[in-house]
Structures are given as structure tokens and as C-alpha cells.
Amino acid sequence: MTGLRTPSLRRRLVLSVMAVVLALLVGIAVAATLLLRHQLEASAGDSLAGRAQTAQRLLDNGADAAEIVSATQGENVAAQLVTTDGRVVGDLTLRATTPPPALRPPNGGPPGPPPPGDDVPRTVATRVSTTTLSDGSVLTVAVDASGIAAVQRQLLLVLIPLVTIAALVAAALLTVVVGASLKPLRGMTSLARSITRGRRGERLSPTRTDTELGETALAFDEMLDELEGAEARERAEAERTRRFVDDAAHDLRTPVAGMSAAAETLLRASDADRETRERLLTAMIRESRRASALIDDLLTVARSADEVTLDRRPHDVLEIARADAERVRIGRPGTTVVVTGQPTTARIDAPRVARILANLTDNAVRYGPPGGAVTVTVDRDGPDARIRVHDDGPPLDDAHRERIFDRLVRLESARSTAGSGLGLTIARRFARAHGGDVRYDGSAFVVTLPIDGRPSDDRPGGERPA
């Protein structure tokens, strides 16, 4: 992938605009020159037509050929009249009224030949008009047209310096104007460097976002917001990871320490009776299972929902809930778990759903008030089987209702209790692997599982549970 081309924007703008300005100036100069030439040629044509009209009036008044030619010709104008009998009066030779200056070669050499006198004919550019008069005679009038080219040259000598000066002034003004227009870009550069040096929270905050620079500044601010948000999320994730590692290390240290203590005691008490040895071995087995369960939870959380393999079969969710309630009663004597609802058969992975229920009920028992009851309700909600797990404890704060499901999160109130803090994460992971979800609605944990085994967003008109 090639890098972004970054030519000088100021130079490109100035050169581009200057090219347009220069083209306009040259176009104006060319147009002015052509217009002047057209006007001069039109004036010469009018002059020729006027002299022909003068000749016609003289002929009508009875003037002879010589008088007509004499009245028609003049300075830089020659006239010739061919009468009806073939006689030619006058000639078309133009003579200079003002001789050109003597030519002097460069480097101070001797002057050239003297200029021709008034009576010496010269080769000049002419414009000729031929008119047939009323008596049949033909009048030809020639006008010296070299003045038109001379005027054009004089105009060009004036326009070329003017165009050059105008172009230079325009270039200077454009440099200043473009520099001022690019000031917001320099502000963006300065802001980016200040943020690099640690000044977070700085923004361009454009006053208008419907301009090119405004759109760029807005996109720049949005990029900064996203980058700083990602940075904050990364820091929060790192902090959660650190705290989780601390918790996991603490939770693993407890069973490992228990196993180590039991093993050392068993080693020292080699002559202990059978009952003591069995008690120590039982403690070692219990702590090893506790450590193994924690490691299993860590591995489960490390897998994504797509990596969870499900063995879907038709099962009654109500029976799974009753079996889990019996598990709690056996493992925690004195704990009240009430299961209500209707039989609801769904295509599910029964061990995974049992794990979901176990995590939710254990969570309810652990954080509920002493002597409180846990109520599990199973029913059907459209195409989904729904399980509600409710305890008598106080509701969670709104800020924690989604956070409790985050990976590697434990609330402060749970840090002094047993458990790895992964139960809710695993429960949601297994529910979403089924195509359902687990959420907290303010009073209970609600589990939704597709009855037909398909995620609700795969069904016609279905939506995945929020």
C-alpha cells in the first residue's frame, strides 16, 4: 500500500489559480488587440467608402478626372481613375510623409544609408477599394494600412508589462489569501501535536460543519473522540484484567493452600488414625475440585460463544429447574428454592442450561439476604422458553445492570464472598450460544432460550432478545 501523496497545498492552490488568472489576462489582452484591429480596419473601410462617395459627388457636379483624383487622394491615400475611354489618371504609389529614422547598427558602428526622401516610393501594407462610378469609370483607392500593425504593436508594448505586473500582484495576493485560508489546517496540526504531548480533551469544535474545512475538522474531532474512547476502554479493560487476575490468584491460592496444608499435615502425621487421614484426604479432594472448577470457569470464559459446542435435544426446562432446586437444597441445607411455572419443552443442551440455572441460583443464594427465598419461574414467551430467577435481595444499581455480565468484572460488594465472579458471564455465554440471552430487568435475572433451537433473529419476523 502506497503512502498518501502530500504535495504542498499552498503551492498547488497558488499555481492553479495563477494559471487561471494568467490565462484570463492573456485572453483579455488578445481580445483587446483583436478588437482594436477590427475597429481600425473598419475605420479604414469607412474611409475608403467615404472617398468613393466624394468622388461620385464630384462626378455628378461635373468635375473632370484630374479633379476627382486630386480630391480623393491625400495623406497615406492614393487614388487612380480609369475613364470610360481607357485613360488612366493618377497612380497607386504611396509615399511616406514622414521618413523613418536612419538605421544605426548596434555596437556604435557607422550609421546606415540615409532614409529615403519624400519622393522615393516605399513598400507598405495597403488596403485597396475599387468602385465603379455612375459614368462607368473605375475608381481605385489605396490606403496605407501599416498604421494598423503599428498601433497593435504599441498596444502590445503596453499590455505585456501590465499583464506581467497584474500577474505578479495576483500571485502575491493569492499567497497571502491562501495562507490565511489554510490557517485552520495549521490549527489542526498544532492540536494533533499537543494531543500527542498528552493534552487530552482538546478539540477543534468548528463553527460550521457544512464547509470543506468544517467537515474535515468535525471528522478530526470524531476520530479523536473514538481514539480517546478506545484508549479509555483499553485502560478500563486492563484494570478489569488486573483486578480479575488478583481475584483469580486469590481464589486459586485458597484451595492450593488448603491442599498444601492438608498434604503437609498428612505427611507429618504418618501415624495418624484412619479417621484423621480420611478427613485430610477429603479436604485435599475438596480443594482440588474447587481449584479445578475455577480453572474450568476461566477456560469457559476464554472461549467465544461460537466455540461452544451444543448437543441440542428436546428437554423440559421446568424439570431442569426442579433438578437444580434439589441440588441447592442438598448442597445448602436450609436454603429455600421455589420452582413454579408450566412444562416447557425446548431443543436445548441440557447440561449447558443446567449450568446457566446453577450459576444464577447460586448467585441469588450467595447475594440474597440470610433466610431469603429464591423463586424460579418457567414459562413460554412467544417462540422462546423463559426462566426468571428472583431473590429477596436489594436490586442492583442501574449502572451495574449490564456491567455485571462483562467479562472479568466483579462488583465491590462481591469481592469478599466466595466464587470466581464468572458465573453470570458464563450463563450469558451459554444462553447466547443457544441463540437466546440473559438479562437483568431490575428485579430478576431473565433467561430466554429458543424453543425450536433456532435463534429468534433466524425466524421470520423474529428479533433477538435484548
Distance between CA atoms of residues 144 and 127, nearest Å? 7
Same domain, 385 and 449: yes
Nearest-10 Cα torsion for 21, 26, 29, 33? -160
Same domain, 285 and 364: no
Same domain, 52 and 150: yes
Q: Which three cell numbers stand for residue 207?
A: 463553527
Same domain, 70 and 25: yes
Q: Which residue has the cell 462610378?
A: 133
437-440: strand order across its sheet: 336-341, 373-381, 384-391, 444-450, 437-440
* Percent of the chain residues past pLDDT 70, beyond the cut: 81
pLDDT digits (tens, 9 = 90+) for 143-153: 887 777 788 88
Crossing angle (nearest 10°) for helices 183-196 and 212-268: 10
**What SS3 state is found at 358?**
helix
pLDDT grade for 267, boundaries at 50, 70 and 90: confident
Long-range contacts, 198-202 (Cβ 8 Å, 24+): 200/228, 201/228
pLDDT for 123 equals 52
Beta carbons within 8 Å of 315's beta carbon, 6+ residues apart: 345, 346, 347, 348, 350, 353
pLDDT grade for 436, boundaries at 50, 70 and 90: very high
Q: What is the mean pLDDT of the chain?
A: 79
Same domain, 368 and 421: yes
Distance between CA atoms of residues 343 and 101, nearest Å? 125
pLDDT for 399 equals 60
pLDDT at 127 over 50: yes
Residue at which a domain ends, from 248, 270, 302: 302
**What SS3 state is found at 142?**
strand
> Residue 422: how many CA atoms within 13 Å on its side-chain side?
24
pLDDT grade for 391, boundaries at 50, 70 and 90: confident
pLDDT grade for 113, boundaries at 50, 70 and 90: low
pLDDT at 317 over 90: yes
Task: Identify the DSSP state of 397.
Answer: P
> Residue 313: how many CA atoms within 13 Å on its side-chain side?
5
What CATH number did the domain enclosing 166 receive?
Answer: 3.30.450
Q: Which residue has the higher pLDDT, 303 or 408?
A: 303
pLDDT for 421 equals 63
Rounded to an integer, the average pLDDT of 61-85 is 84
Residues 266 and 274 sit within 8 Å (Cβ to Cβ):
no
Highest mean pLDDT among 10-24, 244-258, 396-410, 412-426: 10-24
User: For 207, phi and psi rounded to 5 degrees?
Assistant: -75, -30
pLDDT grade for 409, boundaries at 50, 70 and 90: low
Q: Which residue has the higher pLDDT, 7 or 233?
A: 233
Q: What is the full DSSP assignment across 164-221?
A: HHHHHHHHHHHHHHHHHHTHHHHHHHHHHHHHHTT-TT-----S-SSSHHHHHHHHHH
Assigned domain for 172 exists: yes
Assigned domain for 239 exists: yes
Assigned domain for 1 exists: no
Same domain, 360 and 451: yes
Measured distance between the N- and C-terminal CA atoms of the chain, rounded to whole angstroms: 41
Query: Is this prediction's pTM over 0.85?
Result: no
Same domain, 276 and 420: no
Assigned domain for 115 exists: no
pLDDT at 129 over 90: no
Q: What is the full DSSP assignment across 18-59?
A: HHHHHHHHHHHHHHHHHHHHHHHHHHHHHHHHHHHHHHHHHH
pLDDT grade for 85, boundaries at 50, 70 and 90: confident
Q: Which residue has the higher pLDDT, 351 or 419?
A: 351
pLDDT grade for 2, boundaries at 50, 70 and 90: low
Residues 21 and 170 sit within 8 Å (Cβ to Cβ):
yes
Distance of alpha carbon 128 from the chain centroid: 70
Same domain, 243 and 310: no
Same domain, 154 and 18: yes
Highest mean pLDDT among 215-224, 238-247, 416-425: 215-224
Assigned domain for 108 exists: no
Distance between CA atoms of residues 191 and 202, nearest Å? 7
pLDDT for 68 equals 85
pLDDT grade for 397, boundaries at 50, 70 and 90: low
pLDDT for 457 equals 52
Bridge-based pairing of strands 373-381 and 336-341 is: parallel
Same domain, 156 and 266: no
pLDDT for 401 equals 65
Assigned domain for 272 exists: yes
Q: Domain of 377?
A: 304-458
Q: Which residue has the higher pLDDT, 194 or 200?
A: 194
Assigned domain for 318 exists: yes
Rounded to an integer, the average pLDDT of 276-305 is 77
Rounded to an integer, the average pLDDT of 173-189 is 82
Least confident of 4-13, 71-80, 381-390, 437-446: 4-13
pLDDT for 102 equals 44
Same domain, 331 and 245: no
What CATH number did the domain enclosing 258 receive?
Answer: 1.10.287.130
How many domains, in total, are found in the chain? 3
Residue at which a domain ends, from 238, 271, 302: 302
Assigned domain for 19 exists: yes
pLDDT for 423 equals 79
pLDDT for 407 equals 54
What CATH number did the domain enclosing 401 receive?
Answer: 3.30.565.10
Residue at which a domain ends, from 277, 302, 327: 302
Same domain, 297 and 375: no
